[in-house]
Chain A
Amino acid sequence: MTVKDHIKTLEDESIFIMREVAAQFNKPVLLFSGGKDSITLAHLAKKAFYPAKIPFTFMHIDTGHNFQETIDFRDELIAELGVDLIVRYVQDSIDQNKVKEETGKYASRNSLQTVTLLDAIEEFGFDACLGGARRDEEKSRAKERIFSVRDDFGQWDAKKQRPELFQILNGKINFGENVRAFPISNWTEEDVWTYILQENLKLPSIYFAHERKLVKRDGAYLAYSDYLNLVPTDEIVESKVRFRTVGDMTCTAALVSDADTVEKVLNENKASKHSERGARIDDQRSESALEQRKKGGYF
């Protein structure tokens, strides 16, 4: 028996998980942000059910601070896949006084998404949310289950997680609870890029080197935008950059780079010793920033 390539092993595992979600839940939704991980998820969903259609509705929680390139790409891909897309806006949650816009230099809408997400889950009665989170992203994510049960407030209790054994997924939940399902839990950033290359997947242009107007702050480059609260020490510059992870414009740092193809990005990431989450300003707030947000129902 020849030994299987690890990417094929991961793909088979993810497809198995997607099918379990489709079979075990009444109203699953795929959370789609237009980033590379959710694009990978969408592609896996296509492969898992073909020749049948993708059995999931897609949903995007739009902070209003996204890169326009990502939104345009999202709409193109949704049309191509022929799935339904629900969009819910953080702006609406702000207008309804459910959340308060952050102020100051580091103001970001990233953590505000949680309330909009929980409201949308309740509005549509979703019992499972598929997400593209990976365990290699961050330390608290490393302890996340593939089926992660959340209570009606969306809370994650690390100490009360169900043990997950072999390939047996227990998706039974009580009324009001829902499950966050993570089909690409075992993929690393490098696996995702290798898969994007292998499957020839299209990505939003901001993942590749391009000329951009930037704000240099604390040694990092942020995309220049109206959403950013500028301070006197900020420096406006222009450079050729790419984004390694795509979140809000206010909290995603750019890398100075010439890598303009998937292959070049893959090689450049390999050579760099920096982590992907290092480019997320919101995770730099403290050592446990992500865990704190997850306890509150964040993805």
Chain B
Amino acid sequence: MDLLRISTAGSVDDGKSTLIGRLLYDTNALTKEQEQLIEKKTAEKGLKDLDFSVITDGLIAEREQGITIDVAHIYFSTKNRKFIIADSPGHVEYTRNMVTGASNAEVSIILIDARKGLLEQSYRHFYISQLLRLNTVVFCINKMDLVDYSEDTFLKIAADVKQMVDSYTNYQPNVEIVPISSLKGDNVVHEFGNTPWYQGPALNEILHEITPDASEDGDFRMDIQQVLHVQNDNFVDFRGFSGRISSGTLKIGDELTVLPSGKVSTVKEIRQYETVLEEANAGDSVIVSLSDEVDASRGSLFAKTGEEPVGAKSLNATLVWLNEDVANIGGRYLIQAGSRQNQAKLQQIDYLIPPENPQLKLESAKLSLNDIAKVELRLAQPLFLDSYEKNKANGAFILIDPQTNNTCAVGFVES
């Protein structure tokens, strides 16, 4: 069984909770208690169709207000695949929550109300999928039952979707467009013959056919989490560096450069608990020992010699502001990428990007919650990052407000 991480986005009325509920219900993934709760709530509200929203609306305030406040994680599995859905709410804080929810996803599901077609937020959702460079984007044209399963309506929206996708020249994900009704269940898991003009797969089938990008391709990168020293009967003078390989492959005998020190050594041993490996790949948590006593510790990065990222004190990035406290030019923050931390200064705001219309470039002297901007940061010391486009794991960072310790921004390094 493998693992696929999905992000869902849609606004309050798009029926996102209903879609997830429907998917779980029809794949038989709900518990008896959840099914009973759905039936009870449906009866209480006097509804004709099942009310699935009770499954994802988890907090008291959400149930009272009938909205989703925070990213919720939903787990389900079928015979050969485990799914983790990060369900992001669609109200005012959508940008922050969707970026957060999608940051670990491989697939984004964007919901569109068939009666309304593409809305401002649809453009925003696709922009964020693009910003995160998700491999697959599935557009679910929902509420087809309310437009009499009209092929014309579907084709018109599909054409708009294609136009939007084509407007990005440097991002070509796999795009799927599916006509569905979450409420009735059409083309979510089952097919009831209401859309005979649609020959494509149902959503569930699409989610099973995607190949998860289980490993990050690209040059080898590993943040050192800790240095472990061991001296006992079985391990004489053991010195290992623990970390999780964020991209690429590591083999015994590889020549490594430690950054920032620039010291070079070769890989003597790769260990996972009691197992000694010949080779390890992206995603693996390992302990690496080197042939020489080089100076390396938490805050250092391993790269293969000759493939090192450039260390610069100035960084161009796309920043998404996640905090209610406004950022001004000159503001000082902690920057964290992987396990590396440093000090950063917001040197310049080039322009704001309205995600629903990214061609526009707006001038601004500050960053507010949910703003997306091209910026320049000055660092106290080089961080040795890649561009996000080249290496997702070593191309993203967060900013931390040193006064509140809150995570206030996420950044994507530009090439």
Known A165-B398, A167-B244, A186-B73; contact A274-B31, beta-carbon cutoff 8 A: yes
Mark contacts of A269-299 with chain B using CB atoms, 8 A cut-off: 1 yes-contact digit, 0 otherwise: 0001111011000000001100110000000
B283→A4 contact, CB < 8 A:
yes
Contact of B396 among A158, A164, A166 (CB under 8 A): A166
Of A15-23, A27-35, A105-113, the segment with at least 4 beta carbons within 8 Å of chain B is: A15-23
Question: At the interface, yes or no: B58 with Cβ under 8 Å from chain A?
Answer: yes
Q: B225 contacts which chain A residues (CB < 8 A)?
A: 16, 19-20, 23
Chain B: CB-nearest residue to A140: B58
Q: Quick check: A143 and B242 within 8 Å, CB to CB? A: no
Is A96 positioned at the interface, with any CB of B under 8 Å from its CB? Answer: no
B70 touches A158 (CB 8 A): yes
A167, B238: Cα distance in complex, Å = 28
Query: Is A79 part of the binding interface, using a Cβ–Cβ cutoff of 8 Å?
Result: no
- Interface size of A by CB at 8 A reads 59
Given contacts A170-B405, A172-B334, contact A3 B214 (CB under 8 A): yes
In Å, the complex CA distance between A13 and B57 comes to 27
Determine the main DSSP class of B at the interface with A: mixed
CB atoms of B77 and A165 under 8 A apart:
no
Contact A51 B230 (CB under 8 A): yes
Chain A window 44-57, contacts with chain B (Cβ cutoff 8 Å), 1 for yes, 0 for no: 00111111100000
Bound Cα distance from A104 to B342, whole angstroms: 56
Q: Which residue of A lies closest to B411 (CB)?
A: A165
Q: C-beta contact mask, B73-101 vs A, less than 8 Å → 1, else 0?
A: 11101000010100000000000110110
Proximity string of chain A (176-201) to chain B, C-beta cutoff 8 Å, 1 when within and 0 when not: 00000000011010110000000000
B226 in contact with A163 (CB, 8 Å) = no
Per-residue CB proximity of B278-309 to A under 8 Å, as 1/0? 00010111000000000000100000000000
Which listed residue (A6, A47, A170, A291) contacts B2, Cβ 8 A?
A6
Q: Are B405 and A164 in contact (CB under 8 A)?
A: no
A22:B235 contact, CB within 8 angstroms: no
Distance between Cα atoms of A273 and B272 in the complex (Å) = 36
Instruction: Tell me which of A167, A172, A190, A191 contacts B338 (CB under 8 A).
Output: A167
Q: Nearest chain-A residue to B4 (Cβ)?
A: A6
Q: How far is the CA of A154 from the CA of B243 in the complex (A)?
A: 30
The answer to whether B77 and A170 touch across the interface, beta carbons within 8 angstroms, is: no
Residues of A within 8 A of B407 (CB): 162-165, 170
A288–B3 Cα distance when bound, in Å, is 30
A95 sits at the interface (CB 8 A): no
For residue A21, give the distance in angstroms from its CB to the closest CB of chain B: 10
Cα-based distance from A233 to B208 in the complex (angstroms):
50
Q: Which single residue of chain B is at the shortest CB-CB distance from A55?
A: B226
Q: Are B211 and A190 in contact (CB under 8 A)?
A: no
Is B47 on the interface with A (CB-CB < 8 A)? no
Given A4-B283, A20-B225, A275-B2 contact (CB < 8 Å): no
A169 CB, nearest partner CB in chain B, Å: 9
Is B75's CB under 8 angstroms from A136's CB?
Answer: yes
Which chain B residues border A47 with CB–CB below 8 Å? 272-273
In the assembled complex, the Cα of A50 lies from the Cα of B273 at a distance in Å of: 5
Give every chain A residue within 8 A of B281 (Cβ-Cβ).
1
C-alpha gap A50/B82 in the complex (Å): 29
Contact indicator B104/A142 (Cβ below 8 Å) = no
- Determine the chain B residues whose CB is within 8 A of the CB of A170 once the complex forms: 336, 398, 400, 405, 407
Residue pair B226, A19 in contact (C-beta under 8 Å): yes
Given known pairs A165-B410, A166-B393, A174-B405, the reply for A16 and B244 (CB within 8 Å) is yes
Q: Nearest Cβ in chain A — how far from B272, in angstroms? A: 8
Chain B residue, CB-CB nearest to A134 = B75
Q: Does A139 contact B (CB under 8 A)?
A: yes
Query: Are the C-beta atoms of B34 and A275 separated by less than 8 Å?
Result: yes
Is the beta-carbon distance between A159 and B69 smaller than 8 angstroms? yes
> Complex formed: what's the CA distance from A17 to B76 in Å?
22
Known: A1-B281, A143-B70, A186-B84. A291 touches B59 (CB 8 A): yes
Chain B residue nearest in CB terms to A160: B406
| A140 and B242 within 8 A (CB) | no
B31 touches A275 (CB 8 A): yes
Q: Are B242 and A4 in contact, CB atoms less than 8 angstroms apart?
A: no
Task: Choose one: B30, B56, B59; the contact of A158 (CB below 8 Å).
Answer: B59
Chain A residues whose CB sits within 8 angstroms of the CB of B63 once the complex forms:
287-288
If A158-B69, A168-B336 touch, whether A173 touches B211 (CB-CB below 8 Å) is no
A167-B393, A172-B405 are known contacts. Are A291 and B60 too (CB-CB below 8 A)?
A: yes
B31-55 toward A: CB 8 Å interface, digit per residue (1/0)? Answer: 1111101000000000000000001
Q: For residue B71, which residue of chain A has the nearest CB? A: A143
Contact partner of A288 (CB less than 8 A), chosen from B2, B30, B60, is B60
For window 333-376 of B, CB contacts with A under 8 Å fall at 334, 336-339
Contact across chains for B96 and A163 when beta carbons are under 8 A apart:
yes
> Closest chain B residue to A10 by CB distance?
B3
- Residues on B with C-beta less than 8 A from A229 are none
13 additional A-B pairs beyond A166-B392, A167-B244, beta carbons within 8 Å, are A1-B281, A10-B3, A13-B285, A19-B225, A20-B225, A51-B234, A139-B59, A165-B99, A165-B410, A166-B104, A170-B400, A273-B31, A278-B33
Cross-chain pairs A/B with CB under 8 angstroms, 11 sampled: A3-B214, A9-B214, A19-B285, A163-B410, A164-B100, A165-B407, A166-B104, A168-B336, A273-B30, A273-B35, A278-B31
Listed from nearest, the 3 A-B pairs whose CB atoms lie closest are A139-B58, A6-B3, A275-B31
